[in-house]
Structures are given as structure tokens and as C-alpha cells.
Chains A and B, each alone.
Chain A
Amino acid sequence: MEQSLNCLTEINGATMKLLKITAGWLEPLIKLIKGESPKQQLMIIGRGLIVPLLGIAVFLAIWQGTAPRIVTSLGAFPGPVQVWEQSVNLVTEHNEEREKAEAFYERQRVRNEKKLAKNPDAVVKIRSYTGKPTFLDQIVTSLVTVMTGFLLASAIAIPVGILIGLSPTLYGAINPLIQLFKPVSPLAWLPLVTMVVSAVYVSSDPMFSKSFITSMLTVLLCCLWPTMINTAVGVAGISKDLLNVSKVLSLGWWTHIFKIVLPSAIPMMFTGLRLSLGIAWMVLIAAEMLAQNPGLGKFVWDEFQNGSSNSLGRIMVAVLVIGFIGFVLDRLMLSLQKGASWDKSAVLR
């Protein structure tokens, strides 16, 4: 008993930070359970938990009330209950698919063992399971694609942003291009990227699938700009006094960049990164839908084409999951931003 309590407090300590990011009300709740100034904690929970919960409850009620009245060719619009059922279904389907896959590999292993027992020199084939990707698989695919595109874009945008922030001439040269490409919709890039990828990325044993490269590049092209612009603005806005300090110390170029320029640009840089990640997530879903590339977007599109009576409910599950993942990604960036920012007085939300 005591041990499990200890364990509980340990988990509290470790996860407290993460919880704070996603849900401010959990901390007072845990404190309340521990018995720390209960009145105050209740007040905080009331403000932090009850009010948002009320909002959600009202939303659900309106949804439940209006949904049956919207009748589509695929039946009535799904209400919260149907959506919940579908989400359970999706998870069940996923588990079933996993079991099938395991069974397949088990059979294959047994078969190969038998073969080898008969003839030790026999060449055994190992095939991978080719089942239909489930909803959860699609989520993972989308997450991997978005993070790859986002990280690559950041790796390009931050150095370029620093360079154009340092040199007004370079800024003058590149700024028109940024302004031109920034408002371009991902859907316009997509055909070009697809064609270029299929022409250039030819390999007999590709490490990544073409569809992955296409989605990832489209994401990259769209989320370069906010990071680049914000980094440049941050770098260009370094206080003149700090630049003078650097000059008086005669800092070398690299020291100047790493000790003065980068740290002072970090708050702006993270603002850009957060914007970029938000855009990346939105762009990815659209690109997957349009290009039929694996991911959540394809899931939505397939369900739409499928047109069964459950489809709308399943799409609604996807919509909510997309929203939730977007929210979590933003919170993660926010906590990174808070961790990296030296200006603790700045209010970040």
C-alpha cells in the first residue's frame, strides 16, 4: 500500500510538468487529493475545469439536438453518441487487424521452421503482412510525415532566417520571393511536387515511399515561411546595445551568432516555429486527401468514397482526432518555447 502511494507521488512529480501544459486544472486536482489547502484548490479547479466542461456540455447538447435533423444521403448526421460508437469500432478494428497480422507472422514462422527442419539449406521467404492500414496506423503515418516535413523545413528556415536577418541586402533579395511563395496554397504545390518526385526520386529499393516524400515536401514548402520570416525579424531586431557589446568584445563571427544573435532571436523564432507547425498539420491533411497519400487525410477521403451509413460518424471521429492532435502539437511547442525563452516575464499562450 505504502509503496503504491510512493509510486503515485513519483509519477505526480514526473508528469506534473507535462500535465501543466495540456491541462492546468490537473495540478490543483492532484494537490487536492494530497490535501493541500483544499478550499483554494477547489476554487482553481472550479475556474479551470468546471467552466470549460460546461462549455463542452452545452456544445454536446446542441450537437445532439440538431444532428438528427440534418438528413444526408448517407442518413442522419451523426450525433455524439454515434461518433463515440464509431471511435470504439475503429479501435476494435485496429486490434483485430493487429491480431490478424500476428497470426500471419506466426504461420509464416512455423512454415519456415518446418522447411528448414526438412532441408537446412532451403531459402526461406519472409513476407511482410499487407493488410489495410487502420485508423491508428494512419494517425502514426500522418504524425511521422508532419514531423519530418516540419523538422526539415526548420533546418532550412532557421539558418536562412538568421542570414537574411543579419544582412539587409540579403533580406532585400529574398524578401520578395518569401512574400510571393508564402500565400501559395498547398494544393497548388501538390501536382508539381508529385511530378517532380516521380521524375527525380527513382530507386529500385526506395527507403521511403513516394507518397511519403510527396506529402512531406508539400508540408515543407508550406511551413518554411513563418519560421524564416520570424527568425529574420528576431535577428534584425537585436538591441543595438548588445551589438555594441559584441563589437567591443571583438567576438568572432560564430561566437557572435551563437552567443548574441541566436539567443536574442529565440523568442521570435519559436513564435515562427509554432505557426509553422500549425500550418504543417493543416496542410498535411489536405495534401493527403488530394493525393491519396496514406495518412488521416486519406482515411477521411476513403470513408467519404465508401459512403456507408457509418462513414459520417467515422469522418467525425477523424475530425475530432485531427483537432486534438493539432492542439497537443501546439501545446508541446508552447512548452518548448517556454523552456527555451530567457524572457520569463513574457506571457505566452
Chain B
Amino acid sequence: MTISHLELTDVCIDFPTPNGPFRALNHVNLNVDKGEFISLIGHSGCGKSTVLNIVAGLYQATQGGVVLDGKEVDQPGPERAVVFQNHSLLPWLSAYENVELAVKQVFKKRKTKSEMREWIEHNLQLVHMEHAMDKRPDEISGGMKQRVGIARALAMEPKVLLMDEPFGALDALTRAHLQDSLMEIHADLGNTVIMITHDVDEAVLLSDRIVMMTNGPAATIGDVLNIELDRPRERVSMSESEEYNHYRHEVLKFLYERQRNPADVEAEVVEDESKGGPELELIGKEDAA
């Protein structure tokens, strides 16, 4: 039996609430190979961020655990860099200084001053931010902030790059642009990546595997889809490819047929009641009638 790069074994987590423990994740099992690009997709509130936080070491699993390269994950560390949903740059530091903070911490004794400087600039160049290195977060756009966040994570030379909806707050054009950058960087550096997304196209375009999660509470992995599209993938030609659309269809089917958004289901109940429509047999309809 071969040991995978990153293993999530039987991960369960309970959050303490006033009404007793709330089981957010139930028996999550996942093995990730080195260099793999994994997307986590699922409805809002199902527990994607929780999975990511457990891998990052920010949360502790109640049961089961995470092993990275044969070592158990029990605390956060720079070998599992995180790109947060809302960039989380330090607002009082420039883009350069934000990356510098991470680089100084990770390469404390291993790099000289000039090597560090080069490395920081190199990483900012990777995300095409070399022109705004000395600007502070409130002086650059949302997309640029997110890029600096990615540069900061990449500069730590992490074994695993964890990204929580990195492009969620961006407009479609910027998002496409950053997706292309990310694909390039991944092709060059071969990092292992786990990325949370809400965007089906993004998941299919970028991933080697898409991990689809069931709705919470006690969410778990519902299905895993292998994406066997050749790389490099090109956005425009992809949209015409039958294979691509097949994968897209699979994900959509999972999300909207097998795991309907709990919020939508509720909304439909209300709608049907008000119309008095006969399509669905619903509990509570008799009361309404």
C-alpha cells in the first residue's frame, strides 16, 4: 500500500453550541497526491471551509485526522499556506512588506537579505504585481489584493496550497484572468492545491479532481469527479469541447438534483403553497388548504 501525500482519514468535527455539539462534518475521507489540484464544491454552509481549516490546522478534528507526508497535522504551519477568502492582508503594510513578513518567517536563516528580496520580487512577479509592490492594500483593487495574498502563500513554498474561494469576490473578467495565472503557476511549480469554489466552470477548468460535498449538517463527501482533460487547458476552446461540458453537467447534476440547496427547497415549499400548485406532495399542505 502506498502512502499518499495528504490523507484525510475519517475526519469528523463537532462544534459546541448551546444546544449541545453540532456535527458539521461526518467521516470525511480523502487522499491527495503530490501536485494534484483538488476543488471542493458544495452548497453554502455545508462545511467546505471547515475541511480547509482542519487541513490548515486552524481547527482540530473531533475524530479522525489529517496526515501530511507521514506527519500528523496538529497545528497551523507555513507548509500549509492559506489564501483566505477576503485576502487578509495586513492593511498597514505594503504589498511587498506583506509578502516579506511571510518570507522572513519561513526562510529566517536559510536566505540572505538579498536572496529574500529577490524571492519576494519573484513571487510578486508570478502574480503580475511587480508594478504595485509598494502600494498598501487600500490603494489597490480587490483582484490585486487577492493576487498579493496568493503571492504571499506561494512565497512560503508550501507543500499544500489551501485556497478558500480565492476569487469569490471578484468580477468575471478579473476572475478569468486570475484563474489563468493560477493554472500557469500550478503548471510551473506543481504545488498541491486544495481550492474551495462555488463556480462550476472554475472547478472543471482548474481541477484534476472535483470533490463534491453533501449538504450539512453532518456533511461528507458525496462524490468525486476525475477531470481527465489535457493540460494546458484553454478557456475558450474548452467551452466548445464535449468532454468539458460533460464534466460540467455532472457537477451541476450533483449540485442541483442530488444535493439541492436547502434554501431553495424551502423557498419552493412557500411558493407552491401560495399557488396551491399540485405538483409536489408537501407536508403542511393540508394545513394550508
By a beta-carbon cutoff of 8 Å, the part of chain A in contact with chain B is 239, 241-242, 244-245, 247-251, 255, 259-260, 263-264, 266, 342-345
Contact = CB atoms under 8 A, between A and B. Distances in A.
Contact of B138 (A244, A251, A255, A344): A344
Interface string B90-116: 111000000001100110000000000
Contacts, number: 53
Nearest to A342: B92
A158 B168 CA distance: 39
Contacts of A245: 84, 88, 90
Nearest to B162: A248
Nearest to A239: B88
Contact of A248 (B80, B92, B138): B80
Contact of B105 (A241, A251, A343, A345): A251
B86 interface: yes
A242 B81 CA distance: 14
A241 B78 CA distance: 15
Contacts of A250: 75-78, 105
B109 to A, nearest CB: 14
B84 A244 contact: yes
Nearest to B158: A248
Interface residues of B, number: 23
Contacts of A242: 88, 90
A249 B78 contact: yes
A342 B91 contact: yes
Contacts of B102: 249
Interface of B: 56-58, 75-78, 80-82, 84, 86, 88, 90-92, 101-102, 105-106, 136, 138, 156
Given A248-B80, A248-B81, A251-B105, A241 B92 contact: no
A259 B91 CA distance: 11
A266 B90 CA distance: 13
Contacts of B136: 342
A244 B164 CA distance: 13
Smallest CB-CB A-B distances: 7 pairs? A342-B92, A241-B88, A247-B76, A263-B92, A248-B76, A249-B105, A248-B82
A342 B93 CA distance: 9
B90 A263 contact: yes
A147 B145 CA distance: 42
Contact of B90 (A247, A259, A343): A259
A249 B84 CA distance: 13
